[in-house]
Amino acid sequence: MTDRTITIEPLTKEAFAPFGQVITREGCNRFPINLGMTERCHDLASIELGGDNPRPMISIFDGKPYALPLTLRLVERHPLGSQAFYPLGHCSWLVIVAEDDNGAPVRLRAFRPEPEQGVNIGMNIWHGVLTPLDDPASFLVIDRGGDGNNLEEHHFTIPWTIKA
């Protein structure tokens, strides 16, 4: 049997690029607005909206914490739109993603964002559910509303283990 253990990696733009974008102020395109009283970090992610009658949705998710090692039984994907997560406070959390092989998630990876890092997971990318660690946490979420089924789940017959 193959090893079903995933070791957590730091979240970097380069490592996460196949799955979407890292949302961070570091290196962003900054410019002043509002008569110089506000600085804007501009265009941090590419929101994708597909399917019939798409519209962007903004929600707040309140997540209960998970403990490590984590047993991963489920991943999901959204075939009609991207999904962005940005923490509303300092918290420890994971971003779990996978490549696709003929409709099945393979080569899973787990990333731990730094404080004030979020992610925009690309359209149709396999990913884990919201996974705060240690304490409950709230996240601003931008994803797709509209007609059509925008959720596909994959339940693993044999779960994965995620460790620090």
- The 10s digit of each residue's pLDDT in 91-131 is 999 999 999 999 999 999 999 999 999 999 999 999 999 99
Topology of domain 5-163, per CATH? Jelly Rolls (2.60.120)
Average pLDDT, the chain: 96
Whether 32 contacts 38, CB under 8 Å:
yes
Structure token digits, residue 45: 């992610």
pLDDT at 25: 94
Whether 123 contacts 29, CB under 8 Å:
no
pTM: 0.94
Domain ranges within the chain, ordered by starting residue = 5-163
pLDDT at 135: 96
Number of Cβ within 10 Å of residue 136's Cβ equals 10
What are the tens digits of pLDDT across the range 21-56?
999 999 999 999 999 999 999 999 999 999 999 999
